[in-house]
Chains A and B, each alone.
Chain A
Amino acid sequence: GENVEQHPSTLSVQEGDSAVIKCTYSDSASNYFPWYKQELGKGPQLIIDIRSNVGEKKDQRIAVTLNKTAKHFSLHITETQPEDSAVYFCAAMNGQGADGLTFGKGTHLIIQP
């Protein structure tokens, strides 16, 4: 089955700086890679996703890159703001079966004022 590794487990950055979270996956058949943000007391919320037919996707301050050869993908947040503080999860899915998402362990992002 799929295995997703996520680093770092905790990331502290100054407000206004950029944050990068990295994930690797093991199943070369995986073709869908979403990123979720989870705030305290809430369920994970999808913030951006990428499919294997593209290498990069951007939505305002958030971007995701995918390297299929190396089997890794990254989340980039620019101009970080206090409301970006949360736990971020990467995930991977093989769209050929009925499997759910395989998640990484999460990154606790702390934005220092």
Chain B
Amino acid sequence: ETGVTQTPRHLVMGMTNKKSLKCEQHLGHNAMYWYKQSAKKPLELMFVYSLEERVENNSVPSRFSPECPNSSHLFLHLHTLQPEDSALYLCASSQDAGGRAETQYFGPGTRLLVL
């Protein structure tokens, strides 16, 4: 276990549904990240939060909406997704973001299927 948990582990949703992914880290870190992992493609950074403020948004469509209520929790709200959004969504955390390179610890991911 890395100290980063994600729920749910699997999610099937229709294109008109609204759902949320949850990430929690028990490491006392200040930075949290969302990545998308699709088959045959590198992990893609979606969002970076540092001390609960969003510091990076890599041109992610607005149908993905992140929320970081505190330094231990990170959510990804999903709304009117497309089938091509089906992927493994990974959460990670690090001690800090920016300033110097930090080791990131990943959760197990949420496998999302959009029908």
Q: Do A and B make up one complex?
A: yes
The residues of B with any CB-CB pair to A shorter than 8 Å are 2, 4, 6, 33, 35, 40-43, 45, 48, 50, 55-56, 90, 92, 97-109
Please pick, from A94, A97, A103, the residue contacting B42 in the complex, using a CB distance under 8 A.
A103
A22 shortest CB reach to chain B, Å: 15
User: Which of the four size classes fits the interface of chain A?
Assistant: 20 to 34
Q: Name A79-102 residues within 8 Å CB distance of B.
A: 89, 93-102
Q: Is the interface of A mostly helix, strand, loop or mixed?
A: loop
Given known A-B contacts A43-B108, A100-B33, A32 and B42 have beta carbons under 8 A apart: no
Asked if residues B50 and A98 are in contact (CB atoms below 8 Å), the reply is: yes
A51 shortest CB reach to chain B, Å: 7
In the complex, A30→B108 CA distance in Å? 27
Write out the residue numbers on chain B whose beta carbons fall within 8 Å of the beta carbon of A46. 103-105
Write out the residue numbers on chain B whose beta carbons fall within 8 Å of the beta carbon of A99. 45, 48, 56, 98
Write out the residue numbers on chain A whose beta carbons fall within 8 Å of the beta carbon of B100. 95
Q: In chain B, what residue has the closest Cβ to A106?
A: B42
Write out the residue numbers on chain A whose beta carbons fall within 8 Å of the beta carbon of B103. 34, 46, 49
In the complex, A106→B40 CA distance in Å? 8
Contact with B along A25-42 (1 / 0, CB 8 A): 000000110101000011
Asked if residues A104 and B42 are in contact (CB atoms below 8 Å), the reply is: yes
In the complex, A34→B33 CA distance in Å? 16
Write out the residue numbers on chain A whose beta carbons fall within 8 Å of the beta carbon of B97. 98, 100
Asked if residues B98 and A98 are in contact (CB atoms below 8 Å), the reply is: yes
Write out the residue numbers on chain B whose beta carbons fall within 8 Å of the beta carbon of A100. 33, 35, 45, 48, 56, 92, 97, 104
Q: In chain A, what residue has the closest Cβ to B54?
A: A98
Asked if residues B90 and A105 are in contact (CB atoms below 8 Å), the reply is: no
Asked if residues B109 and A43 are in contact (CB atoms below 8 Å), the reply is: yes
